[in-house]
Amino acid sequence: MSDSPRRSWKILPDHEDWLAVWIGAVVLALNLFFLHDVPADAGKDPTQTSAVEVVNPLAPWLMKFGPWESNPLASLVPEGDPWFGVRLAAMAVFVALLFTGASTLSGSAEPGIFLRGFLVLFVFAALAYFLASQTAIRGYGLEYPLWALAAGMLISNTRGVPRILEPALRTELYIKTGLVIFGAEILLARLMEYGIRGIFIAWVVTPIVLVTTYWFGQKIIRVPSRSLNMTLSADMSVCGVSAAIATAAACKAKKEELSLAIGVSLTFTVIMMVVLPAVIRATGMGEDLGGAWIGGTIDSTGAVAAAGALLGDTALNVATTIKLIQNMLIGVISFCVAVYWVGWVERDEGQERPNAWEVWHRFPKFVLGFLGASLIFSTIFSYVEHGPEIVSATTGATKNLRGWLFCLGFASIGFETRFRELAGYLHGGKPLMLYVAGQALNLTLTLTMAWLVLRVFLPLE
C-alpha cells in the first residue's frame, strides 16, 4: 500500500523537539538577517558621528497588546498607531504559516486543517493576552498564562473541545519553540556580570532543593507518580514553567501531570510576587538581598521582574540577573533527569543499565536549540561589533513572539486538560503538600545563601 498524500510531504523530522529547533532557528535567523544600522542621535557633538543604532524592521510586526485601564480600544487601537490591528493580524498569519509549514513538511498535519485550527487557537490566545493587559489585572500578577489555561479548561470541561481546534493543539511544540527562542536572551555575559555571587545563589541552592524535594515526595509523603513528583520539584526549584516542560519531556510525564504542575506553580507565583516584596520591605533587608531572594525563589521570569521593580532598580537588576543565571540550569537539569530516569527509575531488576544511546533518545532535544541560541547570541554580544545593540534589537522582537508562543501553549494545555483526570493526581493533597514543603525549603536556603554571599563573603560595593 502506498503512503498517504500527507506523508509525501515529509521533509523535516516528525519530532516536536527538532521541529521546535527548526522553527526557533528560522525566527532568530530572520530577525538577525533584517537588522540594519542607522546613525544614532549624536546631538551636536561631532566626535560622536560614528555612533549607530541597530534597527530591527520586524519588531513592529512582532508585538503584544499595550496596557489599558477602562477603554479596551486603548489597547486595540493605541493612540498614534492606527495600523496596530493590521500588524497583529499579519503576525498571526505569519506564525500560522510558520507552524503550518513545519507541521506539513514533517508529515504530521494536513496544511488546510491545521491552519484553520491554529487561527482559531490564536484568537483564544489573543483574548487571554488582551485580558491580562488590563492594568488592574496586571497589577495583581494575573498574567496571560492563567487566563489562557482557564479559558481552555472552562471550554474543554463544559461543551468540549471544538473539533476544528484538535489538530492545532500541539502544546509542547509551541512552548518548546518559545524556549529555543528564549535561549537568545540567556547571555553568558550576564553570568559574568554577577560572577561568583550568582553561581552560589542560583546554582548551589537549586540542585539541593530539587533533589531534596523529590526525595521528600517519594519517601515522606509518597506521591504516587514519580514523574509528577519530579516535574513539580523541577518547576518549583529551577524556573517554573520552562523547567517543568523540559523535565516533563525527560521523565515522560503525562500531560495531566504537566498541567497540574504548571497550575500549582502559577498560583503560588501570583501569591509570592505580592507577599515577598512586602516581607522584604517590612524586614528592611535591603534591595540587593531582597532582589536575590526574589530571583532565586519566584518561578516566573516576568513575575520576578515585577516583584523586583516594586522594591527598586537595584532589586530589579539583581532579581532578573539571578533568575537568568538560574534559567541556564534548564539544560543541565533536563539532562540529569534523563540519565536518572533511564538508568534507575525505568530499569527493571537484574536488567543491565541502558547505554548512552538510550539517554540521548530520552534527552529533550529542544534543549540543544536553547543552548545553541544562548551560545550564539552570547558570542555576538561579547565579540561582534555593536554586539549588545544587535542582541537587544533581536530579542526585543523575539521576546514578544515568545510570549505569544507560550500563550498558545497554555491555551492548548487548558483545552487538553480534564478536571476529572486531574482529580486523581490531587487526591489527598499530596502535590500541594510537596510544592509548599519544597518552596519553604527553597525560600529558606536561598535567603541563607544570599545573606552569606552578599553580607558576609562577597558584599556588593
Q: How far is CA 336 from the centre of its chain?
A: 19
Q: Note the pLDDT of residue 208.
A: 95
Q: Note the pLDDT of residue 228.
A: 92
Nearest alpha carbon to residue 227 among 338, 107, 358: 338
- CA atoms within 13 A of residue 447's CA, in its CB half-sphere: 14
Q: Note the pLDDT of residue 358.
A: 67
Q: Note the pLDDT of residue 43.
A: 47
The whole-angstrom separation of Cα 239 and Cα 324 is 9
pLDDT in tens for each of the 461 residues of the chain?
334 444 445 666 667 888 999 999 999 999 999 998 877 664 444 444 446 789 999 998 998 887 888 777 777 776 667 788 888 899 999 999 999 988 888 877 788 899 999 999 999 999 998 898 888 887 777 778 888 888 888 898 888 889 999 999 988 889 889 889 988 988 887 777 666 888 888 889 999 999 999 999 999 999 989 999 999 999 999 878 888 888 988 888 888 888 888 888 888 887 898 899 999 999 999 999 999 999 999 987 778 887 888 888 888 888 888 888 888 888 889 889 988 988 888 765 555 565 667 677 777 788 889 889 999 999 999 999 889 999 999 999 999 999 899 899 888 888 887 777 777 677 678 999 999 999 999 999 999 999 999 998 878 66
Give me 172's grid cell: 509542547
Indicate the pTM of the whole model: 0.81
Q: Note the pLDDT of residue 417.
A: 79
Domain extents in the chain: 7-40+52-457
Q: Note the pLDDT of residue 21.
A: 92
Nearest alpha carbon to residue 301 among 145, 121, 75: 145
